[in-house]
Amino acid sequence: MRYFADIEFDGTAYSGWQIQPHSPSVQQTLEEALALFLRCKVDVTGAGRTDAGVHASQMIAHFDLETSQDPDWMMHKLNGILPQDIAVHRIWPVRPDAHARFDAVSRTYKYYVTLNKSAFHREYSWYLVNEPDFGLMNQAAEMLLSTVDFTSFSKLHTDTKTNDCRVTEALWTPLEDGRWVFTITADRFLRNMVRAIVGTLMEVGRHKLTLEEFKKIIESKDRCSAGDSAPAQGLFLHKIVYPDNLTHI
């Protein structure tokens, strides 16, 4: 029996989603918690990877069990065992071939920056000493909607077969508390892609890059030509969308 789980986590204390040899990960923490009360080894597969320090408002993962279990019971047990920085909001049965990663239709990330220094936002946003030109950054972000190859914003030497992505949303919007959020939605994302985009857009907003230079960075298909990656703590995996036909019948 295969189950999907809707998970939320604060990534501050973790090396990312994926299991690492010598540092804690969200995936490892979930697998250990499941094994503790199910009394068997359980492999958990996530919808994607998140880097060290990156958060998730929603991560979807799947796991298989030999016998069916009550989803609400499993959710209650998990939330009683997991640390305070990981929460499970829902578990539900799906088709045996449903896959948390490969069946996702779209993913949305949000990146938060703040113009007001705050002791409470420091782990969840990037503090900017000077306000950038968000209007100009949105003009640059609009170019991403017509971009196909995102090599310039991908981590080097990855094992992906293609760097093609279809971005359907890329926009900076203000929040009421002096923060701004960059929302980006695509069918798939490359390693480090969102942080590389945000860091390069920030160069545009600081008038260190023109719109034409930003366009040339995209066309160069060269990660070394783009800006530095934005800090991890401002990034949240926000939402993952799936087809309606994955529910177990």
- Residue 249, pLDDT above cutoff 60: no
Residues 135-179 have pLDDT tens digits of: 999 999 999 999 999 999 998 766 678 899 999 999 999 998 899
CB-CB contact of 9 with 59 (8 Å): yes
Read off the pLDDT of each residue in 123-141 and give the average, rounded to a whole number. 97
Beta strands (DSSP E) in the chain are: 2-9, 45-46, 55-64, 86-94, 106-114, 126-127, 167-174, 179-186, 235-241
Phi-psi region of 16 (alpha: psi -120 to 50; beta: other; left: phi over 0): left
The pLDDT score that the predictor gives to residue 21 is 87
The pLDDT score that the predictor gives to residue 94 is 96
Residue 108's identity, in one-letter code, is T
Number of alpha carbons in the 13 Å side-chain half-sphere of residue 241: 9
Read off the pLDDT of each residue in 21-33 and give the average, rounded to a whole number. 95
Which single residue is written with the structure tokens 């989603």? Answer: 17
The pLDDT score that the predictor gives to residue 245 is 83
Which single residue is written with the structure tokens 């990981």? Answer: 86
Higher pLDDT, 20 or 29: 29
- Residue 47, pLDDT above cutoff 90: yes
Q: Which of 158, 149, 169 is nearest to 106 (CA)?
A: 169
Residues 193-242 have pLDDT tens digits of: 999 999 999 999 999 999 999 999 999 999 999 999 999 999 999 999 99
Q: What is the CA radius of gyration of the chain?
A: 19
Residue 140's identity, in one-letter code, is A
The pLDDT score that the predictor gives to residue 204 is 98
Domains detected in the chain: 2-102 (3.30.70.580), 106-238 (3.30.70.660)
Q: Which residues pair with 9 in a beta bridge?
A: 56, 86
Residues 100-121 have pLDDT tens digits of: 999 999 999 999 999 999 998 8
Q: Which residues pair with 241 in a beta bridge?
A: 106
Q: What is the 3-state secondary structure (H, E, C) of 138-168?
A: HHHHHHHHHCCECHHHCCCCCCCCCCECCEE
Read off the pLDDT of each residue in 58-64 and give the average, rounded to a whole number. 97
Read off the pLDDT of each residue in 56-68 and give the average, rounded to a whole number. 96
The pLDDT score that the predictor gives to residue 248 is 60
Longest dimension (CA), the chain: 59
Give CA separation, 225 vs 22, 75, 213, 218, 248, in Å.
32, 45, 10, 9, 47
Q: Which residues of 55-88 are buried (b: 16+ CB within 10 A; e: fewer)?
A: bbebbbbbbeeeeebeeeebbebbeeebeeebeb
Q: Which residues pair with 180 in a beta bridge?
A: 113, 174
First CA to last CA distance, the chain: 11
Compute, in degrees rounded to 10, the torsion defined by CA atoms 158, 163, 169, 171: 60
Which residues are marked as active site?
Answer: 51
